[in-house]
């Protein structure tokens, strides 16, 4: 009986996490460059059930587990739709790769977005962090600049640098931060295949209709686990308080 309660409770916890992740995806359907998240689940380690006979002899009955748990939360790096803005300070990447920002916490990676020029003339992200080129922070000195598909930045006829664009062997080692940046947790860098598109923004790679359908399924699964838990609680209550009671 208690085993069933543990299993239902673990299912409730998992489904609550699924609901939170799906809701977060839906909330960011209009966020430029947002990458959706997914959870994968696995069962707890299996345990061996034994039967104890009248003479204390034992015999195996089989194996069981005590429910499910989150195996990992992963980010989907599928390409989002590219939207033309005709604003030359907007930058998007078409293909696999990341731009690099110099933050107070070290280098962070992002897929593009609205850029601007700070008071010192450096190209910065919307968070105010300097955008890195292959030779360091890019100093453009002017709000009028051009970026070629290979990332070369020019102001008029003057070449000021080239955007640093990187990619990684194992995307699972990229951790999504609340700022919208990604942190590399140790994956090796590889040559990117992305090209830069100036005057574009990458939309979220979230299918709104699919996420709404997933949310309904998550809620339904949560309700079923909740109902199963309630039935087992009532059965346990009857076993403790009613069975064997003299009438």
Kindly report, residue by residue over 144-200, the tens digit of the pLDDT. 899 999 999 999 889 999 999 999 999 889 998 888 899 999 899 998 999 999 999
Q: What is the pTM of this model?
A: 0.76
pLDDT for the residue 213? 95
Question: How is residue 100 written in tokens?
Answer: 């690099």
Mean pLDDT score of the chain, rounded to an integer? Answer: 86
| Residue-range domain boundaries for the chain | 2-77+206-241, 82-202
Give 101's strand partners: 108, 131
Lowest average pLDDT, out of 31-45, 86-100, 117-131, 133-147, goes to 31-45
14-59 pLDDT, tens per residue?
Answer: 888 999 999 999 999 988 889 999 887 776 666 666 677 777 777 7
Q: What is the DSSP string of 159-209?
A: EEEEB-EEEES-GGGEEEPTTS-EEESSPPEE----EEEETEEEPP---HH
Residue 83 — very low, low, confident or very high, per pLDDT cuts 50/70/90? very high
Distance between CA atoms of residues 225 and 217, nearest Å? 12
Q: Are 24 and 203 in contact (CB under 8 A)?
A: no
């Amino acid at each position: 009986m208690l085993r069933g309660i543990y299993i239902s409770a673990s299912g409730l916890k998992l489904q609550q996490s699924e609901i939170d992740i799906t809701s977060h995806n839906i909330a960011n359907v209009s966020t430029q460059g947002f990458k959706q998240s997914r959870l994968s689940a696995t069962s707890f380690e299996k345990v061996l059930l034994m039967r104890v006979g009248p003479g204390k002899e034992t015999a195996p009955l089989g194996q069981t587990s005590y429910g499910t748990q989150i195996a990992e939360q992963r980010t989907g790096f599928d390409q989002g739709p590219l939207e033309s803005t005709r604003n030359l300070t907007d930058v998007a990447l078409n293909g696999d790769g990341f731009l690099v920002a110099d933050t107070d916490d070290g280098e962070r990676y992002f897929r593009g977005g609205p850029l601007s020029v700070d008071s010192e003339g450096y190209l910065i992200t919307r968070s105010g962090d300097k955008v890195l080129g292959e030779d360091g922070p890019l100093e453009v000195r002017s709000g009028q600049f051009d970026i070629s598909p290979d990332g070369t930045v020019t102001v008029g006829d003057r070449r000021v640098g080239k955007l640093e664009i990187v990619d990684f062997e194992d995307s699972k080692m990229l951790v999504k931060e609340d700022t919208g940046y990604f942190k590399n947790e140790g994956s090796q860098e590889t040559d990117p295949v992305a090209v830069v598109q100036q005057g574009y923004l990458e939309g979220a790679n979230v299918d709104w209709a699919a996420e709404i359908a997933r949310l309904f399924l998550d809620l339904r699964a949560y309700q079923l686990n909740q109902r199963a838990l309630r039935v087992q609680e009532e059965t346990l209550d009857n076993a403790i308080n009613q069975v064997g009671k003299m009438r």
